[in-house]
Structure formats: structure tokens, C-alpha cells
Structure 1
Amino acid sequence: MGDGRFGRTLDLGSRAWWRAVGRRVDLAGEHRWLDAPACGPGPVGESWLAAEAERVGGSVDADVTDGGLLASMSVLDGPGFRAADLDERVRDFYEHTARWRMDVWTQWSPVFQPGGELISRLFGRRVQQLALPTRPMDVAHGMDSRVVHLLDAEGRQHAAGWLRTLTATGEYVYSGCYSARLLPGSDQPSVHVAFPLESGSVQVFLRPHVEPDGSLLLTSASKAFGDPGAYVLVRHGDRAYAARLPLHERFHVYADPRGILRTDHHLRLYAARVLHLHYRLGPA
């Protein structure tokens, strides 16, 4: 079986699995909070941007030199969060992401590293999406970052695409759609990150919190369907299915004692530590 045919079989099988274990959702009604970009067959990269702009009746601004993942951090304001309390450097990163560059280090749990490498080889690198680096040398030359804005019909920022590629090879690591979204039954907006895939997406909802030192915590707790966390969404014809993943993430964005902005990203499967990513952020 050729590589292309084998990959196609994997993709069809994985979508069938998620339809089987997921629940039917109504993206036009009760489960609108799960409505997110998807893409067609082939590598993801930035292929979803134009299709998503057309779907929402807007346009793409690919020449972003100053904008950020969110137009303003105040869109997250609620009972558990006030953007005004953030360290101004943290706030600047999210509102002017295009001005920043990043260096990244990875540390996998020895138990999960082989599985991460297998998933990356079978899916991530092939489809150019969620290709988590599994070895420190994978990111030795750094990671490039580009921000693209999705505009609504009035020209306002509807969402942002954040495209991250390996400097050494140009291969996509992440291609995510960032916005603020209110989950059902909540009065606190979450950061919503959707990673488009063929006929679906992986989505993460992160609850924001400001620490006493002005640093930012973004967390996804292990609770019920509809709470912050990670989800897989699969579209099949005019139907859609979603499943909650037992993955829990914690981002801590802070300035170190020398004033350098850093991010610690911890990923867990249930209670087991899977991966730690550390980012050093600086002016582009």
C-alpha cells in the first residue's frame, strides 16, 4: 500500500473512530460553541484560512505586522479575570503577537515520548498540523511565527490564525485559530484555540486567570462536556460529532527576574505528565 493510500486509510479510520465514541452535536444550535474551521484533504498548513473567511462572510488579512491573537485581552474580562491586572508585557504579547519571536525547548516524559513520535510520524508531520516536536534537536534552530487575521464583514478581527513552523525545515508545527468564546453555563469567556483538520478539528478551551504578580495562567480542567478542556470535532455530511479528550493543559506566561517573557506549557493525560514545552519570547 502506497504512503498516500496508507495515510488516507488512517485518516478515514480515525474519523470513523471519533464518530463512534463521540456524541452527535448541533453546531447551528445548542453546540454552536464547537463550530470551528475545518479543511479539505491534504496538508493543513494555512489552507483553511480562505475557506473560513468565506464561510463567515469575511476576509483574510495576511499582512499583519503589529496585531495579535486577540484584538484586546479585555474580551476575556469576566468574574474570574481582568485584563487590566495583567503585566503589560504579557498583555502586549497577546495583543501584538506579530511583534514577538520565540525560542522553544521540549521535554517529553520517557513513557510518552515513543507514542508522541509515532503520532507525529503517522499524522502530524504528514498533515502539517499538531506536529509536536519530540526531540530537543527538532527545535534547535528555533520556531518561526506568523499571525494572520480573519476579518468579519465590517473589517473587524473575528479570529486570528497563528502559524508556527520549524525554522530549519519550514515544516508546520501548529496552525491554530484563536478567539475568545463563552462556554455554555459560564459567565467567564475562555481562550478558544481550534486546530483545523480534514472534516473536523481539535479544539481547546482555556480559562484565564491573573496571578498576583501579573502573570497569566490558562488552564483546562477535567470536568464535564461543555467545560474548559480539549475536544475532537468530526463533520460527516450534514452531521457533526464531538468527544472530550482526557488531556489537560496549563500555560503560565510570565516575566522572569531579568524581565524576559517566558511561557511554561504542561500537557497531561489524565494525571500523568506527558510533555513540558518552555518558550522564551522576545521582540521580533
Structure 2
Amino acid sequence: MMNLAQRKQYIQDWITQQWVILFGKRIDKSEHKWLLGPFGKTNGIGHKFIDQLAKDECLVRSNHKKDNGLLESIEELNLSDEELKSLSDDVIDFYLNTSNYGLKLQVKWNPIFKLFSTIVSVLFSKRIEQLNIPTQNIKDSEGLTNEIIKLVDTKTKEVKRTIWLRSFKSSDQIVYAGVYETCTLPSGKTCIKAIFPLPNGNATVILTPKIGSNGELILDSSGQKLGDNGFYFLLKDSENQLWAKFIKSFTDKLVVRSQNGKITATQTMNLWNLKVLKFEYEINKLTH
């Protein structure tokens, strides 16, 4: 008997989830802890997801707004001593104190994929408040809000979840609402994991860190199979079984660098070895 996606949801969500079941792999929670992350509900993501996650996991939002980073410590990346010495101090500060920076974004699409981006936006992104990538090129940098939300255990005060929420300042439209943490692949390699909740599941990008010759941090997702770094869809079906689909054809590469005290980042997404789009970030430290 075929496994089915959960029924009570939008038809386009059901179809994409059924595709993951048909072409993906059923996974065991105990054997794939490195891959697991929070799932979204069917009523949208955004701020609703953050409040629901805190409730489900008995956590509360930290009151600290400044000095919040995607990482609590750079040691979480398990870099070698040589790599740590080479990594730019400015890049380290950005990852440890992300909320102290302002972001500006430029977007450049490959024209071949612009129609696809519009379809995704209409069917999914605006409704679920997630992965709201602009469908038009943005040549002049547009400002983004840059909020790091920490969910902590009420008793131990330990940070359990770190959420990076980015919206366009001009429209308040959420671009990304992602949970960020590190994970250890079956190979033993430590990676950064970005989890983007979707209805009854998530899109997860696992990125392997490397240090470039000029001290830049290079995060790469070009793995070859389930178990590697790369792009995954995860979901829970109508019988509460977990499924994962590894998307080998989709890769994501992020380079964060500092030159003359100025931090920039370039993110390039490819599909079937074709560049889909490029993000250029300007990252400026705020003066409080």
C-alpha cells in the first residue's frame, strides 16, 4: 500500500509532499538525528512558527536583542587550529554577533529560471511566509531586517534553538525564517545546518565549512548522496512516518569574506550545474 501525505492541506503542498514520498526514502528517527529539525504547520510559517516551536518544545524567547549570533562559539565548527588561525576575525565576529549587523541584498536571476521563481512565489512562498526570494533582479541593494531569535530552556537558560529571521524593510515580507545549528554527518564531518520549515516538513541545507586563502569562510552543499552535505526535503506522512529526499542536482555555495574591514557575502545557487541565482550581501556593523 502506498504511503500518503497528510490530507487536510493545500493541494499544491500535498502534491509536493507526495513527490518526496514517491522518490525519497523513509528514514528512522534514531539513525538520522543529524538530519532532523523542526517541521512547520499547515497555517504558515513566519512568526507563527517561532511561537509554536517555543510552545511545542517548552522554550521561551530570550530577551537579549544584541550580541546574538548564529553560533554560540566558533569552536562549534570543529575547525583545525590552522583553519581557525586563518579565518578572518571579522567573519568570526559576524557569526558570533550576527544581530549587531545590518544587511543589504542584491539579487541576480538566470533568466531561464525566472518563470519558475514566479510560479513558486505564487503557489507557495507568499502564502506560507517562507523562502520569499524576489522574482525580479535587485540591482540596488535593498535593506533587510536581521533578527536572531534564541529559544532557551526556562530552567537551565541554555539556548536550544537559534532562528534567523530576515525580512525586507520596505515591505515587512519575510524572506527567510530558518533554524540554524551544527550537525555531524555520518562521515564525522561537522557542518552548518539551515532548516527552513514547510507545511508538515522542512527544506534543510547542510553546508560543509572550509577556509579560503584570504581568510574567507566557504560553506558548500555539493554532496553526492543521502548522508552527505547537501539539500534535503523532509516530511511526515499521514501515518507519522518520516521521509527524506536528497536533491543532488541542487547546490548552494556561500562565501563570507572581509576586505579592508568590509564584510560581504556571495551566495550562488545552482541546479543541474546551471546558475539559478546569485545573492550579494553587504554586511555592516551597526553603531548602537
Same fold, TM exceeding 0.5?
A: yes
Q: Distance in 1 between matches of 2:45 and 2:139?
A: 20
Q: Distance in 2 between matches of 1:173 and 1:112?
A: 18
Structure 1 stretch displaced more, 33-42 or 77-86:
77-86
Listed one character per residue, the Cα deviations across residues 14-73 of structure 1 (whole Å, up to 9, x for unaligned) are 11221111110112x111112111121222102222333344453322542111011011
* Contact 1:205–1:229 (CA under 8 A) maintained in structure 2: yes
Instruction: Indicate the residue corresponding to 1:154 in structure 2.
Output: 156
Instruction: Indicate the residue corresponding to 2:200 in structure 1.
Output: 199
SS at 2:10 equivalent: helix
1:41/1:62 Cα in 2 relative to 1: closer, same or farther (>3 Å)? farther
TM-score by length of 2: 0.89
Instruction: Indicate the residue corresponding to 2:275 in structure 1.
Output: 273
SS at 1:14 equivalent: helix
Give, as a single letter, the amino acid of the residue that structure 1 aligns with 2:23: V
Give, as a single letter, the amino acid of the residue that structure 2 aligns with 1:118: I
Alignment of 1:83-232 (within 5 A): 83-137=84-138, 141-152=142-153, 154-186=156-188, 188-232=189-233
**How far is the alpha carbon of 1:259 from its aligned partner?**
2.4
Instruction: Indicate the residue corresponding to 1:250 in structure 2.
Output: 253
Instruction: Indicate the residue corresponding to 1:25 in structure 2.
Output: 27
Aligned residues: 275
1:34/1:267 Cα in 2 relative to 1: closer, same or farther (>3 Å)? same
Structure 1 stretch displaced more, 206-215 or 139-148:
139-148
Structure 1 stretch displaced more, 57-66 or 18-27:
57-66
1:259/1:119 Cα in 2 relative to 1: closer, same or farther (>3 Å)? same
Q: Distance in 2 between matches of 1:244 and 1:9?
A: 23
Q: Distance in 2 between matches of 1:33 and 1:124?
A: 26
Give, as a single letter, the amino acid of the residue that structure 2 aligns with 1:247: F
Structure 1 stretch displaced more, 143-152 or 73-82:
73-82
Instruction: Indicate the residue corresponding to 2:12 in structure 1.
Output: 10
* Contact 1:139–1:166 (CA under 8 A) maintained in structure 2: no
SS at 1:33 equivalent: coil
* Contact 1:210–1:217 (CA under 8 A) maintained in structure 2: yes
Q: Distance in 2 between matches of 1:211 and 1:140?
A: 26
Percent identity between the two aligned chains: 25
Listed one character per residue, the Cα deviations across residues 160-203 of structure 1 (whole Å, up to 9, x for unaligned) are 100011111101110000011101122x2100000011110000
Give, as a single letter, the amino acid of the residue that structure 1 aligns with 2:194: V
Listed one character per residue, the Cα deviations across residues 249-278 of structure 1 (whole Å, up to 9, x for unaligned) are 11110113x421000100001211111100
Instruction: Indicate the residue corresponding to 1:4 in structure 2.
Output: none
Q: Distance in 2 between matches of 1:74 and 1:166?
A: 32
**How far is the alpha carbon of 1:217 from its aligned partner?**
0.4
* Contact 1:44–1:128 (CA under 8 A) maintained in structure 2: yes
SS at 2:243 equivalent: strand
Structure 1 stretch displaced more, 176-185 or 12-21:
12-21
1:127/1:62 Cα in 2 relative to 1: closer, same or farther (>3 Å)? farther
1:83/1:207 Cα in 2 relative to 1: closer, same or farther (>3 Å)? same
Alignment of 1:20-59 (within 5 A): 20-27=22-29, 29-59=30-60
* Contact 1:102–1:144 (CA under 8 A) maintained in structure 2: yes
**How far is the alpha carbon of 1:102 from its aligned partner?**
0.6
TM-score by length of 1: 0.90
Q: Distance in 2 between matches of 1:200 and 1:209?
A: 29
Query: 5+ unaligned residues in a row in structure 1: which ranges?
Result: 1-6
1:199/1:210 Cα in 2 relative to 1: closer, same or farther (>3 Å)? same
1:269/1:30 Cα in 2 relative to 1: closer, same or farther (>3 Å)? same
Alignment of 1:40-79 (within 5 A): 40-61=41-62, 63-78=64-79
Give, as a single letter, the amino acid of the residue that structure 2 aligns with 1:185: S
SS at 1:249 equivalent: strand
